Structure 1
Amino acid sequence: MVNQSSPVGFLLLGFSEYPQLEKTLFVVVLTSYLLTLMGNTLIILLSMLDPRLHNPMYFFLCNLSFLDLCFTTSCVPQMLVNLWGPVKTISFLGCSVQLFIFLSLGTTECILLTVMAFDRYVAVCQPLHYVSIIHPCLCRQLAAVAWVMGLVQSIVQTPPTLHLPFCPHRKIDDFLCEVPSLIRLSCGDTTFNEIQLAVSSVIFVVVPLSLILVSYSAIARAVLRINSAVAWKKAFGTCSSHLMVVTLFYSSVIAVYLQPKNPYAQDRGKFFGLFYAVGTPTLNPLIYALRNKEVKRAFWRFLGKDEESRES
C-alpha cells in the first residue's frame, strides 16, 4: 500500500494545547541543547587529548558523548522550530530521517550502557585481570556491536512503521516522530507493528536492563564481602556515575515504550519522551564531570592549571 500521508507530512502537536508553556519550553530546550553540545564535546576532547583518560572506561564514555550529540541533534532543532512558532509541521522525509536516526541511536545507547556496566563489573570484581580482559581490541569490538545493533534495529523497524496507513488528520501527539506515536496515528491494523514494538522493547530494553542489574548485583555482592571503608568508597566512585545515567535513561525509555494504553499514560509518556530526548544527554556529561575525579583533573589540566590551583 502506498502511504498517502507522504506528500504532505505530519503535524507535531507537542504541548500545543498549552500554548503558555511553549515559550518556556523553548528556552528550557534551547538551554539544555547548548549545554549538551558544550558538555559532551568537552568530554570527547578530554578523552582524546588527555593520555590519562586513554582507558576503556573513557573510551566508552567518549562513545556515549558522541552518541548523545547525534541523538539530540536529530530532533531538537525541529523541536525548537515547532515550539517557537505556530507552524508545527514536519515533512514525511524529515519524519522518516528523524525516526530512523532516533531509533538507531536510542537502541545503540541501550547496548552501550550495558557494555559499560560489564566494564564496571570487571573493574570491581576482577581488578587483577581487568587489563587482560578489557583490552583495546575488545573495547572497539563491543562499541562496534552496539552501533551495528542500533543500525540493524532501525533498518528492521523503521520501514514497517512508515508504511502504516496514517489517518488523514496527520496529527502526531508528540514532540517528535517515534514508533509509539506513529502507531497511534494509524487508522489501519497495527497488530504486526505492536508485536514488533513489544519484541524489540524486550530485546533492546528489558534484556539490556536485566544484564545491567545482574552486573550491579554481582558488584554489590563483591563489595559487601570487603571489610574496608576505603574499598567501598572506591567501588562506589567507580560505579555511581554510570548507575545514575542508567537510572535516568531507562526510567524515561520504559515510560515511553512500555506504557499502558490510556490517555494519562500517553500524556506522561510525552513528558518522559521530552526528558529522554533532551534531559538525559544534558545530564550525562554533568554527572560524569561532577562525580568523576579523573574527568575534573583532566579538565583542569586542559585549562593549564596546576595541582595547587585546582585544590584552591
Structure 2
Amino acid sequence: MGNDSSLATVEITVHPTIFPRAGYGVLAFLMFINALFSIFNNFLVIAVTLKNPQLRNPINIFILNVSFSDLMMSLCGTTIVIATNYRGYFFLGKRFCTFQGFAVNYFGIVSLWSLTILAYERYNVVCQPLGTLQMSKKRGYQLLGFIWVFCLFWAVVPLFGWSSYGPEGVQTSCSIGWEDRSWNNYSFLIVYFLSCFFIPVLIIGFSYGNVIRSLRGLNKKVEEMGGKGNPEEEFRAVIMVLVMVVAFLICWLPYTVFALTVVIDPALNISPLAATIPTYLSKTSPVYNPIIYIFLNKQFRECAVEFITCGQVLLAKPDEEISTSAAPAESKTPCKINQVTPV
C-alpha cells in the first residue's frame, strides 16, 4: 500500500519524440561544427577589419556589418540549437523560444539586406564610376541605419500579432510560425518574403549581372584599341558572382519555398524532418559568408594571415616587400590598401 502511494506521487515527464534520439544527436553535432566555424570566421573578419584601418572603406563596412550580424545569429541561434538538440526538445520555455526566433530572424535579414546593398553599391562602383551616387562614409552609414531599422520592423511585427514565433520542424529551434494555417499568417508570409527575399534576389541579380556585363565590355574595348584583354580576370569574376548567388539561394530559397507552399496549399502535410531542412540550411550562411566575401580576397587574406600568426607569416610578394623597403617604418603595412571586393 505504501509502495503504491509513493509511486502515485512520482511525476513522469514525457516529451514528444518526433525524431529518433540518434538524429537529435547528429543535429547537435552538426550545429556544434556550424557554430565553431561561424563564430571563428566572423570574429576573425571583425578583428582583422578593426585592426587594419585600410580595410575600413565605405563599401567594406557592409561586409563588417554582415560579419557582425552573422556572429550574433550564431551566438543567439546556433549555440542554443546545440543544447536543445542534445536534449531532444526545446526545454528553455516559450519566452526563450520567442527570443531565439526573433534574434535569428532579425540578424538573418540584416545579413541578407547587407549583402543586397553591398551588391548594389558594387554595381554603382563598377558600372557608374562617375555617377552621383558614389559611396561615401556618410552614405554608407545612412544605408546601414536603413538596414537595421527596416529589418527591425519585420522582426518586431510578429511580437504584436502579425504572425508569431514558435517551434518549428523537429521542435528544437524556433522561428516565424510559418507552419501556422491562418490568413493572418499567410498575409505576413507573402509580404515578408516579397520584402526580404524576392526584392533582394532581383537587386542582387541585376547588380552582379551588370557588373559582369561591364567587365566584358571593358575587355572588348581594350582589345579594340589594340591592347590585350584579361579573360582570366573576367572568368574569375563570373565564377565568384555565381558562387555568391548560388550560396545565397541555397541558404534562403528552401525556406521561402516551404513557407509559401503552406500559403498555396494549406492542406499539405509537411513532415517535421522536411520542415527542419530549410531551417538548418539558413543557419549555414554565417559559415560561408566570410569565406566567399572575405577570405577569397587577396588583400584581406594577407591581413588575416598576418593577424593569426602575429606577424610571423606574411603573404606579400617579394617585389612588394622590396618596393616598400625604402618607406618609413610607420608607413609600412604588409597587407595592401584596397577594397575587399570579389572582382
Band the TM-score falls in, shorter-chain normalisation: 0.7 to 0.9
Q: Which amino acid aligns with 2:188?
A: Q
1:217 equivalenced with 2:209 (yes/no) = yes
Aligned equivalent of 1:299: 304
1:12/1:171 contact within 8 Å kept:
no
Q: Which amino acid aligns with 2:285?
A: T
2:208/2:241 contact within 8 Å kept:
no
SS in 2 for 1:89: coil
Superposed displacement of residue 51, structure 1: 2.5
1:180/1:257 contact within 8 Å kept:
no
Q: In structure 2, how many angstroms separate the alpha carbons of the residues matched to 1:254 and 1:129?
A: 33
Superposed displacement of residue 141, structure 1: 0.8
User: Deviations for 1:42-80, whole angstroms, at most 9, x for unmatched residues?
Assistant: 101111111321213321111000000111222222211
Aligned equivalent of 1:288: 293
Cα distance change of structure 1 residues 112 and 163 upon mapping to structure 2, 3 Å threshold: closer
Aligned equivalent of 2:84: 82
**Of 109, 112, 119, the match for 1:110:** 112
Superposed displacement of residue 12, structure 1: 9.2
Q: In structure 2, how many angstroms separate the alpha carbons of the residues matched to 1:162 and 1:218?
A: 37
Q: Which has the higher helix share?
A: 1
User: Deviations for 1:184-237, whole angstroms, at most 9, x for unmatched residues?
Assistant: 5xxxxx111111111111122111111111112222321232326755554665
Cα distance change of structure 1 residues 172 and 289 upon mapping to structure 2, 3 Å threshold: closer
User: Deviations for 1:83-142, whole angstroms, at most 9, x for unmatched residues?
Assistant: 223453231111111122222222222221110101211222134559x71011111111
Q: In structure 1, how many angstroms separate the alpha carbons of the residues matched to 2:274 and 2:168?
A: 18
TM-score (norm 2): 0.73
2:168/2:179 contact within 8 Å kept:
no
2:45/2:64 contact within 8 Å kept:
yes
2:168/2:174 contact within 8 Å kept:
no
Cα distance change of structure 1 residues 129 and 238 upon mapping to structure 2, 3 Å threshold: farther
Summarize the alignment of residues 224-263 of structure 1 with structure 2, pairs less than 5 Å apart: 224-226=216-218, 227=220, 231=230, 233-234=232-233, 244-259=243-258, 260-261=261-262, 262-263=268-269
Q: In structure 1, how many angstroms separate the alpha carbons of the residues matched to 2:113 and 2:68?
A: 15
Query: What 5-or-longer segments of structure 1 have no aligned partner?
Result: 1-10, 185-189
Q: Whose radius of gyration is greater, 1 or 2?
A: 2
1:12/1:174 contact within 8 Å kept:
no
Q: Which moved more, 1:89-98 or 1:224-233?
A: 224-233
**Of 123, 126, 150, the match for 2:125:** 123
Aligned equivalent of 2:280: 274
2:77/2:103 contact within 8 Å kept:
no
TM-score (norm 1): 0.80
SS in 2 for 1:178: strand
SS in 2 for 1:25: helix
Query: What 5-or-longer segments of structure 2 have no aligned partner?
Result: 1-14, 223-227, 263-267, 322-343
SS in 2 for 1:56: coil
Cα distance change of structure 1 residues 12 and 249 upon mapping to structure 2, 3 Å threshold: farther
Instruction: Give the alignment's Cα RMSD to 1 decimal.
Output: 3.1
**Of 198, 202, 210, the match for 1:206:** 198
Q: Which amino acid aligns with 1:115?
A: I
Q: In structure 1, how many angstroms separate the alpha carbons of the residues matched to 2:297 and 2:78?
A: 28
Q: Which amino acid aligns with 1:145?
A: F
1:41 equivalenced with 2:40 (yes/no) = no
Q: In structure 2, how many angstroms separate the alpha carbons of the residues matched to 1:76 and 1:222?
A: 39
Cα distance change of structure 1 residues 12 and 281 upon mapping to structure 2, 3 Å threshold: farther
Q: Which amino acid aligns with 1:225?
A: G
For CA contacts below 8 A with separation 6 or more, give which structure has more relative contact order.
1
User: Deviations for 1:125-178, whole angstroms, at most 9, x for unmatched residues?
Assistant: 134559x710111111111111111111112233215769x9xxx886444212
Aligned equivalent of 2:142: 141
Sequence identity, in percent?
Answer: 20
Cα distance change of structure 1 residues 240 and 135 upon mapping to structure 2, 3 Å threshold: farther
Cα distance change of structure 1 residues 147 and 242 upon mapping to structure 2, 3 Å threshold: farther
SS in 1 for 2:174: coil
Q: In structure 2, how many angstroms separate the alpha carbons of the residues matched to 1:123 and 1:90?
A: 47
SS in 1 for 2:32: helix
1:19 equivalenced with 2:16 (yes/no) = no
Q: In structure 1, how many angstroms separate the alpha carbons of the residues matched to 2:153 and 2:90?
A: 30
Number of aligned residue pairs: 288
